A = this chain, B = another copy of it.
Amino acid sequence: MTKPNKSKLTCPDGRISQPSKSVGDREVIDLGTYIPGFLSSINNALSRGASQRYRAQFGIGIVEWRVMSMLAIEPNIPAVHISDAISTDKGQVSRALQKLCDAKLAESKVVSADVRKKNWWLNDAGYTMHERILKIALERERQLITGCTPEDIEAFLRVARLMGQNLSKM
């Protein structure tokens, strides 16, 4: 550590595992405790595996899956709500909805005099695929957390929720 007089339990920011260490007299990242590094490698490995599997088995990518999962959570919603709910760019949502529509998995209808405003939902084929991918997605999540205690998972979720709030202020 660069900062002096820092005991494991009384470091100024309250953390126990510090995200940096020393190499010679230089402060450097400690890859074993630096959270952004973990988040990146875990998320990338997870997304990559899911995307490959869904694409090979169902012909849609992970973006389309996320949009599809939101259409199942809240049927008959406009694109902008999907974008907000799954934290995805509205451009990506627009392209994904078009693909789902082309693949005859989702449908939409103009819901007001304003022809831009359309609500979207899954048709029967869409729900069938949703059910199949959901099984895989939940099984993958179960494998991901295998070996963790329920208490640690709860703590993980608390931290994740707080991170989401903190990020919206950064």
User: Which secondary structure dominates chain A's binding surface?
Assistant: helix
- Tell me if A113 counts as interface (CB < 8 A to partner B): no
6 additional contacts (CB under 8 A) given A29-B73, A145-B162:
A16-B150, A23-B74, A28-B69, A41-B164, A43-B44, A143-B170
Q: With a CB–CB cut-off of 8 A, which chain B residues contact A15?
A: 145, 150, 153
- Tell me if A127 counts as interface (CB < 8 A to partner B): yes
The answer on a CB contact under 8 Å between A36 and B140 is yes
The answer on a CB contact under 8 Å between B145 and A163 is yes
The answer on a CB contact under 8 Å between B16 and A154 is yes
- Tell me if A4 counts as interface (CB < 8 A to partner B): no
The answer on a CB contact under 8 Å between A36 and B16 is no
The answer on a CB contact under 8 Å between B142 and A151 is no
The answer on a CB contact under 8 Å between B87 and A14 is no
Q: With a CB–CB cut-off of 8 A, which chain B residues contact A34?
A: 141
The answer on a CB contact under 8 Å between A163 and B87 is no
The answer on a CB contact under 8 Å between B38 and A46 is no
